[in-house]
Structure 1
């Protein structure tokens, strides 16, 4: 029987030998082993962006990383983090009547909640993070503040504790505040926030699913919540995180993808005034560049 031919791939970082046999987990790839074709990713339209090593936080590439700018519903990452750190995710929360005026005032995205429904905090986190429900962010803030003002104060206190010096919150969902003061952050701060949030197992589980079905119960309607983060569906290895979009912020995306054990975490802000597809395309360009040609050949489990 003739020997089976072995395929060798030559690269600047060494030789990769591919032979038949049982599948094994790919080893983690160091920062130095990630080859790139150019000095920076091509085709990124976002004026504010950053890409970092998801293990160490080392910045791979950035554009205006410390410029303050609106971030839309990426705000909900901090809202979720405050709730998770407070705990008691099985507590029952009644959806208040006030969500109707709250969502309508700024045409906020919703999870289809109706006043009077009773859901757990955990269920509301799915409603907030997948379809980007402002109608879920509001009752979470009301319950955990308690009240909006106290909750927003805790969001800002958490930002200060995490060293996010260029981040400020005025609303738990990312909608414009009635006073006109803006919620803002920077690419560098949002990458730090994303890394901290993704280190929380419950948060990681929530933002990593594409669809969540909440069956009808004695006090709630039937809901099917689908993620707005299409990178989860379209780019193999993506494990989160969150989209954002308002008139002031344009289309934004905070994302993490893992290839061959190497996570890359990045953000794009104001990729386009209205097109989520442009933000997704920006993220793709950054990830393709960051992982390089060799990692792109490694099969994704």
Structure 2
């Protein structure tokens, strides 16, 4: 009888010990990603997610990241550009999103970059490309030259705004993430794409403008750095995004997604990367 009591005591002690030992933390499940193409990597080189990341696809207005990158290497931010009727007509005739620019306005390069990146203005893209080619053909050549220098071997540009073109244009998720990393190294670019709203007060040179960022991820999560949205029927809804997580810069892209889903998925992917980084 005493042996049974001792055995029961030992069994209870072992059970208590097992219950006391903390169980290892469970890693977060990989988020479901409905986009056709996706890729997420951090500044330490850790790949957190990949899905057809080397497939060549159209990337819509994510093209404007390269447009901004080239302009920032060509122009002075205080330079003024006169908006032409061709700039306005280009956006309207092609059904592009616009910064609501008007013929005759004289805006700084800095402001036009906000008009390019926040409301994704096709009119701003046309004005910048026309000025810093000079001419759109020469500007696109500069975009492709920059792509080669950055090692974007699967990227080819045909215009400065990402609108569908007969000659086509393509990139990959891997290339888009690499481009974003290079662009975010520029403090001006980083400031612009992280801004939710930019106001241009009315002056004698131009009318007032208020531009809001189409990137809703900025409103959904902390530590988001930008970067750019895009949409065409051919490309689907796209999102190039970045955030600070676990002391690292995490950059990702979703191509061929649905409108609202791209933002919720990007938020989940940033949290997933954060969880993986924190676990070493």
TM-score, scaled relative to structure 1: 0.82
Q: Post-superposition shift, 1:294?
A: 9.0
Residue 207 in structure 1 maps to residue 207 in structure 2: no
Which structure: larger Rg? 2
1:269 to 245, 250, 255: 255
1:50 to 39, 56, 60: 39
Question: 2:80 — aligned with what?
Answer: 92
Deviations 1:116-175 (A, max 9, x none): 110011110011001111110100001100000000000000001101010011110111
Question: 1:27 — aligned with what?
Answer: none
d(CA) in 1 for partners of 2:257 and 2:277?
28
Question: 1:291 — aligned with what?
Answer: 274
Question: 2:3 — aligned with what?
Answer: none
Quickly say closer, same or farther: Cα 1:50–1:259, change in 2 above 3 A: same
Mapping for residues 89-128 of structure 1, pairs under 5 Å: 89-128=77-116
CA contact (8 A) 2:88 2:101 kept: no
Deviations 1:59-91 (A, max 9, x none): 222100110001111100000000011131211
Once superposed, which parts of structure 1, at least 4 consecutive aligned residues long, lie more than 6 Å away? none
d(CA) in 1 for partners of 2:107 and 2:236?
31
1:72 to 44, 51, 60: 60
Quickly say closer, same or farther: Cα 1:36–1:134, change in 2 above 3 A: farther
Mapping for residues 189-204 of structure 1, pairs under 5 Å: 189-204=175-190
d(CA) in 1 for partners of 2:276 and 2:127?
46
d(CA) in 2 for partners of 1:169 and 1:36?
40
| Root mean square deviation, CA, Å | 1.9
d(CA) in 2 for partners of 1:228 and 1:85?
25
Quickly say closer, same or farther: Cα 1:280–1:50, change in 2 above 3 A: same
Question: 2:242 — aligned with what?
Answer: 256
Residue 172 in structure 1 maps to residue 163 in structure 2: no
Quickly say closer, same or farther: Cα 1:36–1:146, change in 2 above 3 A: farther
Deviations 1:12-46 (A, max 9, x none): 59xxxxxxxxxxxxxxxxxxxxx8423xx222100
Q: Post-superposition shift, 1:11?
A: 8.6
Q: Residue 104 of structure 2 aligns to a residue in which SS?
A: coil
Question: 2:206 — aligned with what?
Answer: 220
d(CA) in 2 for partners of 1:229 and 1:91?
27
Unaligned runs of 5+ in 2: 1-21
CA contact (8 A) 2:98 2:124 kept: yes
TM-score, scaled relative to structure 2: 0.87
d(CA) in 1 for partners of 2:120 and 2:228?
8
Quickly say closer, same or farther: Cα 1:221–1:12, change in 2 above 3 A: farther
Q: Residue 268 of structure 1 aligns to a residue in which SS?
A: strand
